[in-house]
Amino acid sequence: MMFAYWNDYYYIVIILQIIAIIHAIKTGRREWIYLLIFLPAIGAIVYFFMEFLPEMRRGSGSKSLTKALFPNREINEWERKLQVSDSVTNKLGLSKAYANQKKYDQAITLTLDCLKGHYDDDPAILLQLSRQYFYSGQYQESIKYFDRFNSKTSIKTAEDELLYARALEGIGNEDAANDDYKRIIRVHHSIEARYYYGLFLKNRKQTEQAKEQFRAIRSELKLLPRYLRKRNAKWLRLAIKESIALK
């Protein structure tokens, strides 16, 4: 009787396990994968309550699930729009959809195609291109377009300033990267920047200074409002992982 009951729900457990694994990979929670593989039923339940449910409460869980199950849905929608109207708006929308699926070459080609004529120095297009070059690993090009963007506007976000610092690190300009990391942390109090600065110091064999950054993340999060603690939970989780590895 018990085995018959298990057989009825076996496929549901497998489906939940696959969804959880895909979600973990897509959102950078790779430390969960072993638990999800070797303890599928329990692992999927624990993952749901500890990771997926909090995301759903913030409104991001359903979007992550849709992207995981239908990865080309957004691309297909923008491709249809572009077929109807070959506009800059639709090209940029499709470019973002490609980038969301890590198809950066296609994304960059479309964005570059928009950067001409009346839109040659459009800040929004320059910024989109800067980000796409960064995530494709083309750091020198990313810096080039970030510099063009910065020359057009004084409006900058902590996230984009951090990408610039990481791009400087990526091309080996460590002194400039070091200065930028410290400035972003000082000015924006960015938990994410502190995490990446910790990685930067770790890679430079400055182990004690790296540990200090990872410890600071834990200390600073305790002082933040609850909604900001939830928003930065990923960086705390990664900082703890790095701290353990450095012991």
- Cα–Cα distances (Å) from 158 to 117, 168, 185, in that order, read 30, 15, 9
* Total domain count, the chain: 3
Q: Is residue 114 domain-shared with residue 140, that is, in the same domain? A: yes
For the cut 60, the answer to whether the pLDDT of residue 152 exceeds it is yes
Q: How far apart are CA 44 and CA 140, in angstroms?
A: 41
- Cα–Cα distances (Å) from 62 to 23, 27, 122, 197, 239, in that order, read 11, 13, 33, 31, 26
First CA to last CA distance, the chain = 50
CATH number at residue 140: 1.25.40.10
Give a yes or no: residue 132 inside a domain: yes
Residue type, 157: T
Instruction: State the residue range of the domain holding 90.
Output: 71-155
Least confident of 62-71, 84-93, 211-220: 62-71
Last residue of a domain, one of 69, 96, 117: 69
Q: Is residue 49 domain-shared with residue 111, that is, in the same domain? A: no
93's torsion region: left (phi>0), alpha (psi -120 to 50) or beta? alpha
- Percent helix, percent strand, percent coil in the chain, to nearest 5: 80, 0, 20
Residue 226: pLDDT band with limits 50, 70, 90: confident
Give a yes or no: residue 208 inside a domain: yes
Instruction: Tell me what pLDDT residue 62 has.
Output: 53
Q: Is residue 125 domain-shared with residue 87, that is, in the same domain? A: yes
Give a yes or no: residue 221 inside a domain: yes
For the cut 70, the answer to whether the pLDDT of residue 82 exceeds it is yes
